Amino acid sequence: MNGFQYIGLDIHKRTINYCVKTADGKIVEEGRIVANKHKLKSWAEARRQPWVSAMEATLFTHWVYDMLRPYAAELKVANPLLLKAITAAKKKNDRVDARTLADLLRCDLLPECYMMPAELRDLRRVLRYRNFLVRHATSLQNRISGLLMESGESYNSRRLHGERYFQQLLEHIEAPSSVLQMLRLSRGALTVFSSMEKRLRRGLLQHPKLRERVERLRSIHGVGEVTALTWALEIGPPERFPCVARACSYCGLTAAQRASADKEYRGPISKQRNKHLQTILIEAAKLAPRYNPQLAAVHARELKRSNANRATLAVARKLVAYLLAVDRSQQPFQIKEPEARVA
């Protein structure tokens, strides 16, 4: 790729610094452009030579990536956690960062991270917004319980968030008017959040790109709608992962490792993970053994060796293996019976 120009992009909210270099490291051009779609498109259309570009993964990377993709021969996104060349530099500013990205790109040393296809990214954004609504709805439920406890009112915690029971409770409790007002407001907001969550989840389940895949994943006993949707949209194409161990590492289900010579140290669960997948898989692993005999056997075996937390992790890893197998085979989940030995 000696005929290509190598461009490093340091992206911020309002500006984008760029540095253009040749294959031998000579700076051809550098500067700063306003971070909006019209200016960026004009800049890309003005480039005469074929070019490849690298940028750091940030909040603003997605729209820049989608805007430049038709103009660049190749676009790469760097993992910020692995960009030690930038974070450890003595002199650090936007211009130097752009130069460093261009150098890493032309020397083929860029720690590249995976970019999900645009359509899956849009669906993933919807799913994460749905999870955001669920977190806020849970916070409101806890707040309603807290207001009742502050007022010294007794209630049935299992029925509290049912509409009929809640209305009856408001008619009989003797609480200050301010508490009654906040309870009604909280209940109204909770109803809105629940309605929005159902509509978003229903739209994802009916999407033609996801419907069949989610149905196959749900053939695993213990895997529900949310777990299947999260796996499909956070993993993307299953071919990304050559083995189950890589998938478990991405999901945050493996311990950190530090090894040198004959010494090895295993730390807690690594923070370098997909936190959305990790949360859902751990929650699923706590419930799945109730519905899946194979996962129940894994949980019981690990519980004899260690504690409940490690047993849950073992179930989550086995769940990843099942999900990955179904995705790769494109077939519903089936347990293979052991072959009978011939005497």
Would you state the pLDDT for residue 264? 77
Higher pLDDT, 334 or 289: 289
pLDDT band of 84, cuts 50, 70, 90? confident
pLDDT in tens, 184-233: 999 999 999 999 999 999 999 999 989 999 999 999 999 999 999 999 99
End-to-end CA distance of the chain: 62
Half-sphere exposure (Cβ direction) of 93: Cα atoms closer than 13 Å: 4
Nearest to 104 by CA among 90, 119, 84: 84
Alpha-carbon span 214 to 12, nearest angstrom: 37
Average per-residue pLDDT for the chain: 91
User: Residue type at 333?
Assistant: F
The pLDDT assigned to 342 comes to 55
340 pLDDT tier (thresholds 50, 70, 90)? low
Q: How many Å apart are CA 154 and CA 175, to the nearest integer?
A: 11
- Give the model confidence (pLDDT) of 247-263 as tens digits: 999 999 988 777 777 77
> Cβ distance 253 to 234 under 8 Å?
no
Give the H or E element holding residue 40: helix 37-45
Is the pLDDT confidence value at 89 over 80?
no
* pLDDT band at residue 1 under the 50/70/90 scheme: low
Measure the CA dihedral 153/159/162/167, to 10°. -30
Strands 5-11 and 15-21: antiparallel
Backbone angles phi, psi at 178, to 5 degrees: -65, -40
222: left (phi over 0), alpha (psi -120 to 50) or beta: left
pLDDT at residue 292 greater than cutoff 90: yes
Long-range contacts of 140-144 (CB under 8 A, 24+ apart): 140/186, 140/189, 140/190, 140/193, 141/190, 143/186, 144/183, 144/186, 144/187, 144/190
The pLDDT of residue 339 is above 70? no
Q: What is the pLDDT of residue 341?
A: 57
pLDDT score for 13: 93
> How much is the pLDDT for 269?
79
Q: How confident is the model at residue 30 (pLDDT cuts 50, 70, 90)?
A: very high
Rounded to an integer, the average pLDDT of 68-86 is 89
